[in-house]
Amino acid sequence: MEREELSALWRQEGRKYAADINEFVRIGMASNWQQKQQEPEEDKRHRLAGQVLKQIKAANQTGSIAELREQFPPATWPFTNSFSDKMQAVEPIAVMDNGGILVQISNSAKPQIYIADANSIEVFTNIYSAGVSPDGNYIALADDKEIRVIAQPDRKLQGTVAARYEWTALQRRMKEILPEYESLADQDKPASHLTKIVPFSGGQSLLLVSSAGTFLVEQEQVTLLHPDPAIYGAAHEDEDEEDRYIGDAMVHGAVSPDNRWIAYGGQCSEHLLLDVEKREAYRIEPLSSYPHYCSFSPDSKEVWFNACHFYNGETIKVTISELTDDPADAAADKEWPSVNDEMRVYAAAPTSQGQILGDAYGYLRLISSEGEELWRHFVGSTISGLAVSADEALLAVGTYGGMLHLIDLQSGEKDAFTIGTAPIKEIARWILWKDEPPLRW
């Protein structure tokens, strides 16, 4: 098929599919999903995906990306069937002040960190995991030897080193806490097992989230936050003493911008909140089955907890001043307002308007503190990470489809190929697939 014919068909099918889905959702939302409708026809562009991928690769060789985006408006969904084996989770960590976007490839067997923008990308192959402080001023980089915290790094990830944490020392202290269990202390490459790192307090503290234990590191001191070994031991007392692994699934964690609070949990816990200063822990009952995600508001006054059930879930808003008015043991019995009762949340980007939540179905939704949905935007694959710039102009979105989307939050418009209600516009995209060079789209 000639390029012009391929482009015309891709655009025609893409415009129709977006219009059909948008109308279906509009009617559904207006009727609270009570009005019966016929399901929209499937996206027929999947049969064109292989040919379009060739056009993407050719445009990257010639540098004609603007023409590519015009002739073949980006989409993820058509590629899912044919290229799912190449897709992987792409997680934006931070939009840095220098304009670079710090990105990591999650669940990768090899170290893979990128610094990207709309026009260029650079890979760093000796770093397994990265994290950013709540204020955005510090970046943590974990390799085989250590975790180092860097203040305001440049595009080469160089800058003033605020702190270093050698794995040998960290693992020794972890083992002292858990001598009878296998945990992060026992992993040969602990950096590769981290789900999340959060440096805070000027880099002098770290939150380490992993399926082999969630730990608080404060200079020389290491504290196990989750799971509780007493509860774990009681539940597994009949297991082989030589094969006792402490850990949990769906582990998550966040630190408040004022560095006072740590929210965390996992599939087998309640929602958990630690007052770092007073060392007081609060347990909050989830409204859905399994705790899955947590995020603080920019002013540190609220923490949102999501719990999931299959691909759906519910998010509650906990106002910290209300929480601290009651004894810690009363928190689990308190009823907290739901801000969303649909999404299984995988990522969040706190903003002045509310929180942008990313879910299992590939939708972004901006939800206010009062629980009002301000807009929604579909990116085509389960969300794996979100990061917003300090001025709230640029949103970086990562997906399990192996895509990094750069979205202008202040565009005030959307195009005819976009599914959703959001007045926002994608301005650039990177395809970051397994065993393939990065491709601009």
Higher pLDDT, 191 or 247: 191
| Number of domains the chain contains | 2
| Domain assignment present for 295 | yes
| Domain assignment present for 79 | no
pTM attached to this predicted model: 0.95
| Domain assignment present for 261 | yes
Which contiguous run of DSSP H or E holds residue 216? strand 214-218
The residue from 22, 50, 73 where one domain ends is 73
Same domain, 44 and 182: no
- The predicted pLDDT at position 235 comes to 43
Same domain, 174 and 224: yes
Higher pLDDT, 247 or 217: 217
Same domain, 209 and 187: yes
Same domain, 124 and 66: no
Domain range for residue 105? 86-440
d(C-alpha 69, C-alpha 14), whole Å? 13
Residue 243 has pLDDT above 60, yes or no: no
Which amino acid belongs to residue 378?
F
- The predicted pLDDT at position 229 comes to 83
Show Cβ contacts of residue 192 under 8 Å, excluding neighbours closer than 6 positions.
111, 128, 129
Residue 237 has pLDDT above 80, yes or no: no
| Domain assignment present for 78 | no
Same domain, 107 and 65: no
Looking at residue 373, which CATH number applies to its domain? Answer: 2.130.10.10
d(C-alpha 281, C-alpha 261), whole Å? 10
Q: What residues does 366 pair with on adjacent strands?
A: 356, 375
d(C-alpha 103, C-alpha 295), whole Å? 19
Q: Are 256 and 266 in contact (CB under 8 A)?
A: no
In the chain, what percentage of residues exceed pLDDT 90? 90
Residues 152-159, mean pLDDT to the nearest whole number: 95
pLDDT classification of 330: cutoffs 50, 70, 90: confident
Same domain, 163 and 228: yes
